[in-house]
Amino acid sequence: MGRRKGLDIDGVLLLDKPDGMSSNHALQKARRKLDARKAGHTGTLDPFATGLLVCCFGKTTKICGAMLNVDKSYRATLTLGRETDSGDLTGEVVQQALEFKGITEEQLATVLPRFVGEIEQIPPMYSALKRDGKPLYEYARQGIELEREARRVTIYDILVVSFTPTEVVLDVFCSKGTYIRTLAQDIGRALGCFAHLRALRRTSVGPFKLTEAISLADFQALESPQSVLLSLNDLPPDLLPEKLRQKETL
C-alpha cells in the first residue's frame, strides 16, 4: 500500500508552542492534524522555550526564506546567581556566585543600557551553528568547546517586566541572529553574579504576534483546523516572492 501524501493546503498557522517539545515536533503535529502535504516553519525555538512558532503549509512555505531576516521579540526570565553550560535551566551549573543575596534595581538599571543597540555576541556552543558539517551542540555534548567568532546583532529595546533580587523578567526586541541565552549570560556577568534563562517565550516574529496564536492543544481539538489558517491574501505582500504576488493578484 502506497504512502499517503496528504492534501494540498496553503496557509500560515500562528502556533503557541508548548514547552518540552521541539519546533519540528510541534510542526509535524499540526501538519498531521491538517493532513497537509507540505510544511515548514520560519525559525526554531528550543524545546524548553514557548511561544510563537510560525508554521507554513503549501505555497506559504515560500515565505520561510524572507522570514529568516525579520526582527523578533521575547519575554525572558533570568535566574540570577548561577550560570549553566547551555545558558538555560536545562544545563549544568558551571559558575555560581558565592553567598549571593541578590541585586538591586539600581544595579540592573545601570547594566541594561550596555546591551541596547548594536552589540557583539559569541554564539553559544549549544546552538545549531555548524562546524565541519556538525552542529555545535554535538561537540558541546561531548564536552568539546570550540572557538567561535563574535557576531554583531542589534537589541532595539529591553524593558523590565518584573524584578526581584534573584530573578528578573525582561521583554527583549531584537534583530535576527540574537541569542537570548547569550544575552542572559552576558547580563549576569556584567552584574557580577552570573545568570541563566529559567524561561523564554517568543512574543513576535516579524509582523506576526503571539496574541494572534493558538495553542497546540486547542488547534488539535478543532473540528475545522483550516479555519484558523492565514491565507496568502492575509499575508503582508513584502513577504511573498514576486511570482507568487503576481499570481495572487490575477
Give the residue among 50, 51, 94, 125 at the shortest CA–CA distance from 188: 94
CB 161 within 8 A of CB 154: no
d(C-alpha 237, C-alpha 219), whole Å = 26
Catalytic, out of 46, 85, 88, 186 = 46
Q: Which residue has the cell 540570577?
A: 80
Amino acid identity for residue 156 in this structure:
Y
Q: Which residues lie across from 200 on neighbouring strands?
A: 76
Q: Which residues lie across from 76 on neighbouring strands?
A: 170, 200
**Is 46 labeled as catalytic in the residue annotation?**
yes
Q: Return the exposure string of 79-92: e unless at least 16 CB atoms fall within 10 Å of the residue's CB, then b.
A: bbbbbbbbbbeebe
Q: Which residue has the cell 525582561?
A: 170
d(C-alpha 172, C-alpha 181), whole Å = 12
CB 159: neighbour CB atoms within 10 A?
A: 11
d(C-alpha 189, C-alpha 131), whole Å = 27
Residues annotated as catalytic are: 46
